[in-house]
Amino acid sequence: MNRNLEGKVALVTGAGRGIGRAIALKLAANGARLVINDLDAAPAEEVAGEIRAAGGQAVVCAGSVTAPDFAERFIGTAVQEYKGLDIIVNNAGYTWDTVIQKMTDEQWYAIIDCHLTAPFRILRAAQPIIRKLSKAEAEAGKRVMRKIINISSVAGLFGNAGQVNYSTAKAGIIGVTKTLAKEWGRMNVAVNCVAFGLIKTRLTEAIADGNATANIEGREIKVGVNPDLMAMMEKGIPLGRAGTPEEAAGSVYLFCIPESDYVSGQVLLCSGGLTGI
């Protein structure tokens, strides 16, 4: 395998399951050293163990990305363990849906905090470290490219009924991406965004009874999609099916490799050809 991320330090939030897990494994398989985050320690440790068993390096920084001290702890783990910081993937997230007239302030802020405020805090905490590393490299006559990949959604580009909180947060992270591409270019940082369409994970799998939930920070959040609705959604995708976590991870990987060093401020739609919802 072409290990073109050899020695790079990559941080991935929400990497214990689903898309985040696939991203972490993909980057590790190509030589990156990982900082694995998940809300729950057990799945994070499982992914880290899988990476180590394959001969890679991984450490865990478990906990909620919305915790006030998380960003500093997350970035600090990379610096303490690996003495570097090369790739950040802001992936952690979930949905908590209803129409606007029924949406509570708690629902609104929970999703905004997870998908928008948390990445903002992580990137804010990373800036002084990246600036220091970039300055030292410039003084040594070296140019080292770093990569930020923020995760958005087709909902952030086109809106989606019942998801005003999620759509707003995912639209906002595109604004963060485009702004930091301009602010951080001078530090040799490429900042890009991947907007996912329908990807099959535990949060979107077809569930007949519609009663499945996931406990997220003490809240029982409904997950899963009715099988008939899933079939209808897949029919609307030009490729005729939902994507896999591994396919989603591949789109993130494209922004991490050296071949994309001169690509910044872009939004890549990973949706099987779906261009509106």
* β partners of residue 213: 222
Residue 247, classed as helix, strand or coil, is helix
Catalytic residue among 82, 94, 109, 166: 166
Q: Is residue 204 part of a domain?
A: no
Token pair belonging to 142? 């070296």
Residue 226 lies in a domain: no
Task: Report if residue 261 sits inside a domain.
Answer: yes
Q: Say if CB 5 and CB 69 are below 8 A apart.
A: no
Q: Assign residue 190 a region: left if phi > 0, alpha if psi is -120 to 50, beta otherwise?
A: beta
CATH number at residue 59: 3.40.50.720
Tokens for 233?
């959604």
pLDDT at res. 221: 80
Residues making up the chain, counted from first to last: 277
- Any domain includes 208: no
Q: Is residue 217 a part of any domain in this protein? A: no
**Longest CA pairwise span in the chain (Å):** 61
236 occurs within a structural domain:
no
β-strands 213-216, 87-90 pairing: unpaired
What domain range is 126 assigned to?
A: 9-198+244-270
Residue 229 within any structural domain of the chain: no
Rounded Cα gap, residues 140 and 166, in angstroms:
44
pLDDT at 216: 83
Model pLDDT, residue 87: 99
**Residue at token pair 């948390």:** 118
Distances (CA, A) of 196 to 11, 74, 110, 152, 250: 19, 24, 20, 6, 12
State the pLDDT at residue 232: 83
**pLDDT confidence of residue 230:** 77
* Count of domains forming the chain: 1
The position carrying tokens 């708690």 is 106
For residue 35, list its beta bridge partners: 11, 59
pLDDT in tens, the chain (277 residues): 578 999 999 999 999 999 999 999 999 999 999 999 999 999 999 999 999 999 999 999 999 999 999 999 999 999 999 999 999 999 999 999 999 999 999 999 999 999 999 999 999 999 999 999 999 999 999 999 999 999 999 999 999 999 999 999 999 999 999 999 999 999 999 999 999 999 998 777 655 555 677 788 888 887 766 677 678 889 999 999 999 999 999 999 999 999 999 999 999 999 999 987 7
Q: List all residues 6 or more positions away from 26 whose beta carbon is below 8 Å from its beta carbon.
A: 246, 249, 250, 252, 253
Looking at residue 227, its pLDDT comes to: 73
What is the DSSP code string of 89-121? Answer: EE-------B-GGG--HHHHHHHHIIIIIHHHH
CA–CA dist 22, 109 (Å, integer): 28
Question: Can you tell me whether residue 268 is helix, strand or coil?
Answer: strand
The two beta strands, 213-216 and 219-222, are: antiparallel
Q: Are 124 and 169 in contact (CB under 8 A)?
A: no
CA–CA separation, 151 vs 89, rounded Å? 8
Task: Answer yes or no: is 214 within a domain.
Answer: no
Task: Report yes or no: 67 and 99 within 8 Å, Cβ to Cβ.
Answer: no
Is 109 an active-site residue? Answer: no
How far apart are alpha carbons 116 and 1 in whole angstroms? 35
CA distances from 103 to 39, 98, 152 (A): 24, 6, 21
pLDDT at 276: 79
In this prediction, residue 30 carries a pLDDT of 97
pLDDT at 218: 80
